[in-house]
Structure 1
Amino acid sequence: MDLGQLVGAIGPWAIALGAGFEGETAAIAGGVMAHRSLFPLWAAFLATAFGAVVADQIFFQIGRRFRDRPFVIHVRQKPAFAKAVGFIERYPTGFILAFRFVYGFRTVSPIAIGLSTIPLRRFAVLNVVAALLWSAVFTMIGYLFGPTVDRIIEALAPHKTELMIAFPIPGTCLLLWLLWRRRRQRRRERMNPPFHAPEIAES
């Protein structure tokens, strides 16, 4: 089995895993890889939807079954959680269908839904529909822009040595910035009292 066959075999599974945690980046990458014929477009689409569905079902169950655990308590202290609660109370169906498309709501939303009175079956059905729509949009973006990605890679090919030397520099700077930002956020959380979101009735 050569490298292309290996990527074709494990690629959809890697895309599914990435879609559950990285979201749009993995979905678009799946579309680009499908454009390059590493695996079929339908495989990228289904893998992306599958990963999104499984991840959100897990987060839903975490919210429903482990509401008093530290991880859920930490999520409930985020400002985005309180906003998600408001949307769930006013537009439950629409919010479940749309939260994947709104930046900052990807992780907190299924946990907030799990803490609400929305039944598991209803969430599961809407979750599948939403994941299929979301996967179709972002996989197609990657597939349609695949030629552009290929042209960029082809244009940069003569400079691959210089790029291999240069890439670690911004990567290191980004890593240091992320560490500094995380340290600053923790210091701010210690200085400021935590935000307590309103309780949601158990199902």
Structure 2
Amino acid sequence: MQKYFRKLQTHSGKILAAFLIVFFSFLAYNLYQAPVSGFENKFMFLLKEYGYIILFAWGMLEGEAGLIMAGLLSHTGDMTLYIAIFVAGLGGFAGDQVYFYIGRFNKAYVYKKFRGQRRKFALAHLLLKKHGWPIIFMQRYMYGMRTIIPISIGITRYSAKMFAFINLISAWCWATITILPVWYFGEEILVVLHWAKEHWYFALPFALVFGGSIIYYFNKASKKKEKEL
């Protein structure tokens, strides 16, 4: 059994890739077959029909957009709030565990595949050495480092059990602080979304500026951290 489990860990990257291919193929087929007309209606039907499955996979990819959607569906009653938080956190946990084991059992592949990311790997090692376990807890909020940090920790001799424990708590906290406010302010958010849909020509430039500002801020913060270290 232990030998079989180790084999799964070794091929964790291939398993994740296969899972995502099957998952997106499943979504595409069911989106096409949805018994409603219009892409928006088909997408909403898919979310209501397979919401928790989609949320788990979205959590693995650590996409906040999926969690925001889960918060809105929880507000409208199409999802149960606590189950949504549990499933999203479990997905985030599973995704980072895969990345951790890619680093732990595929070091040669990592060094070859991520050759252009050496500076980020060096930064991740420095952060772990300087701050310890809080980096595992905080890495979900570090733009541009979400994949690098779990992989780089896997390369080190850091305890797999300790990583898994901190990763699980971090994932559920991440899911809670993303989904809960959206659920609570759901009515206001739905009003804004409805307005944006009706007045997309005003909303689109604002969304681009807002999104660009966030990316610029995190890029600047990441570069500043590199210089400090």
User: Would the TM-score normalized by the shorter structure come out above 0.5?
Assistant: yes
- TM-score normalised by the chain length of structure 1: 0.70
**Could you say if the C-alpha distance between residues 76 and 146 of structure 1 is closer, same or farther in structure 2, counting changes exceeding 3 Å?**
farther
Q: Sort the Cα spacing of 1:76 and 1:136 in 2 relative to 1 into closer, same or farther, 3 A.
A: farther
Partner of 1:179: none
Pairing partner for 1:151 from 188, 191, 195 = 191
- Provide the residue aligned with 1:56 in structure 2: 96
1:97–1:76 Cα change, 3 Å: farther
- What is the distance in 1 between the residues matched to 2:129 and 2:112? 20
Residue 59 (structure 2) aligns with: 19
Check conservation: 2:55, 2:66, Cα contact below 8 A.
yes
TM-fit CA distance, 1:154: 3.4
SS of residue paired to 2:87: helix
1:169-180 equivalent positions in 2, closer than 5 A: none
TM-score normalized by the length of structure 2: 0.62
Give 5+ residue unaligned stretches, structure 2.
1-34, 36-41, 206-229
Matched ranges for 1:59-74 at <5 A: 59-69=99-109, 71-74=110-113
* Residue from 141, 163, 177 that aligns with 1:101: 141
Residue identity over aligned pairs, in percent, reads 24
Displacement, 1:6?
A: 5.9
* Residue 81 (str. 1) matches residue 121 (str. 2): yes
Q: Whole-Å Cα distance in 1 between the matches of residues 63 and 46 of structure 2?
A: 23
Seen in structure 2, the aligned counterparts of structure 1 residues 156 and 102 have a Cα distance that, compared at 3 Å, is closer
Q: Amino acid of the residue matched to residue 184 of structure 2?
A: L
- Does the 8 Å contact 2:133/2:166 carry over to 1? yes
**Secondary structure at the residue paired with 1:117?**
coil
| SS of 2:114 mapped into structure 1 | helix
Deviations 1:157-183 (A, max 9, x none): 6x4xx96xx8xx99xxxxxxxxxxxxx
Does structure 1 retain, via aligned residues, the 8 Å contact 2:62–2:92?
no
Rounded to whole Å, the distance in 2 between the matches of 1:104 and 1:74 is: 16
Letter of the 1:73 counterpart: K
Flag the 1:38–1:72 CA change in 2: closer, same or farther, 3 A.
farther
Q: Deviations over 1:84-118 (max 9, x none)?
A: 11011122211111111221111111101100111
